[in-house]
Amino acid sequence: MTKASSRRRFLVQAGVLSAAAAAGRTAVAANDTIEAAVLGCGVRGDVHADQLADRHGCRVRWVCDPDRSRAEKLADRVEKRQGVKPEIAIDLRKVFDDKSLDVVAVATPNHWHALAAIWAMQAGKDVYVEKPVSHSIEEGRRMVQVARRHGRICQVGTQARSLACLHEAKKFLADGGIGPVRLARAVYCRHRKPIGGPGSFPPPEGVDYDLFCGPSPLEALTRPNFHYDWHWFWSTGDGELGNNGIHMLDVIRLLLGLEGPGEATISFGTRAGYHDAAETPHTQTSITLFPKVALVTEICGLEKATPIDGTSLGIVLHGAEGTLHLKPQATEAVVRDPAGAVVRTIIAPARALVADHAANQVVDHVTDHFGNFIAAVRSRDAATLAADIDQGRQSTALCHLGNMSYRLGSDLSFADVQAALATRPFADDPATLVNRMRGTLEANGCMPATNMIRCGTWVETVPAAGRGTEEVGVARDPRAAALERLVYRDPFRLPSENA
């Protein structure tokens, strides 16, 4: 069968599902082996394979990547873990044709997350999908629709939600532990060197570049490092805000019980000083306002970065009676009084860490997260998921709104950026935010020659009552609303709402 005919056949299958696929499976018995596929064989794909290869009652049946060499290497590693070598595919649609397959783990580049997950669910599979769950706000909404319509279990790879200490901290905050929280700050400072280019580079040998691009434009490669550096291009990635910022935004939402896209979002930053092929900013601040709290995410990819609120990587919640500090994926939260003295450490109730008998690894929150997913697959109870797709959709939308503001922005002086922030009052100081970024750029020799950085306008969102249950048209500004949706290539189109 040719590639073209295979694609046409899959489109028919995706558009007209069989009754059995639409209805989904019944509960899986506790002693039945769950057959799994891993899509994307990079860093996260290896983690997924580690969790699903002879663990949680699962077996990896397929590994898939448009780079066949990566798929072959992961298949070899999986064989060592589970004793049986999985089948290899470069086209994920071949994987979905396997009717014996139960679950699909999506660890592809960002631009494939939604379409891969949707096609898998339409084919009757349950899905574990990496963050950010989608490459647009519309995609996230469609993922929830498909999961609900077809009764699929869909877990998001925001594994921090399986940290027991977070739930203890959430209760502490709800009980008024530090008083009303008006400011939640997320800080992610990690040195990211220039990626090289721009230039003209061929895809690595053995890569099906058409499949790699999938729904995104078939653009010429301008970067020397094919894998991972797709994060820094708008057609395939979402910058550091969507790469790691989402983890912290998701935790903040969990701790404070925040729902929806907030009232307005603004973002500013730059890639000045990095003469490379990348498009996304290396330094970016994104601010989303909720009725009672401001979410401020400060990202710095430069070598010299001054800690903010005492942290270079972490979350700080500012309450009227103190602060709560949490590092990414940490097993404890620290509470400080207004003077900065530690007054409490929140640790979840102790539990014995046991070795997984099959993989001989210590159980941690990542293992718990996958275990939670598989337990829900067996029970068919999506309400038991630690990170249901709708929660992932909402956290991802905050990243998209920040990037939408940035992309719609223009170059402004630092004084004008400060003035733009000050048009809406919130629980942080615009001058401090802007001067902090300016000082960081100066310290790293990355001040723009024009003394200007990119700053968007406030992207205001439509109140929930005006959006309806589907949340169509999140942004008020038509220019921003246009960025909620993507343009797709044939045959990699997002299925309609009724599919």
Same structural domain, 312 and 410 = yes
Contact 78, 4 (CB under 8 A): no
In a domain, 186, yes or no: yes
Residues 85 and 184 both lie in one domain: no
Q: What is the CATH number of the domain that holds 305?
A: 3.30.360.10
- State the pairing for strand pair 126-129/283-289: unpaired
Is the pLDDT reported for residue 13 higher than 50? no
Which pLDDT value is given to residue 329? 87
Does one domain contain both 272 and 416? yes
Q: Are residues 49 and 87 in the same domain?
A: yes
433-457 pLDDT tens trace = 999 999 999 999 999 999 999 999 9
Domain count, the chain: 2
Residues 180-197: tens digit of each pLDDT = 999 999 999 999 999 999
Which pair of structure tokens corresponds to residue 1?
A: 């069968």
pTM: 0.92
pLDDT of residue 363: 61
DSSP calls for 292-344: S-EEEEEEE-SS----BTTBSEEEEEEETTEEEEE-TT-SEEEEE-TTS-EEE
- 346-397 per-position pLDDT tens digit: 997 655 444 444 444 446 899 999 999 999 999 999 999 999 999 999 999 9
Q: Residues 276, 326: one domain? A: yes
> Would you say 88 and 71 are in contact if contact means Cβ atoms under 8 Å apart?
yes
- pLDDT above 90 covers what percent of the chain? 86
Q: What is the 3-class SS of 414-434, one letter each residue?
A: HHHHHHHHCCCCCCCCHHHHH
Residue 285: beta bridge partners?
A: 268, 298
Q: Is residue 209 a part of any domain in this protein?
A: no
Based on the domain organization, do 263 and 372 belong to the same domain? no
Answer whether residue 214 is part of any domain. no
119 with 55, same domain: the answer is yes
Do 287 and 295 contact (CB within 8 A), yes or no? yes
Gap between the Cα atoms of 362 and 79, Å rounded: 20
- 287 with 372, same domain: the answer is no
Look at residue 312 and tell me if it is in a domain: yes
- Joined tokens for residue 161: 């939600």
Lowest-confidence region among 221-230, 253-262, 343-352, 397-406: 343-352
CATH label of the domain that carries residue 151: 3.40.50.720
pLDDT tens digits along 133-144: 999 999 999 999
For residue 44, give both structure tokens: 């996260």
Residue 92: which domain range?
3-161+362-388
Residue 256 has pLDDT above 90, yes or no: yes
Which residue(s) pair with 317 in the sheet? 184, 324
pLDDT of 312 strictly over 60: yes
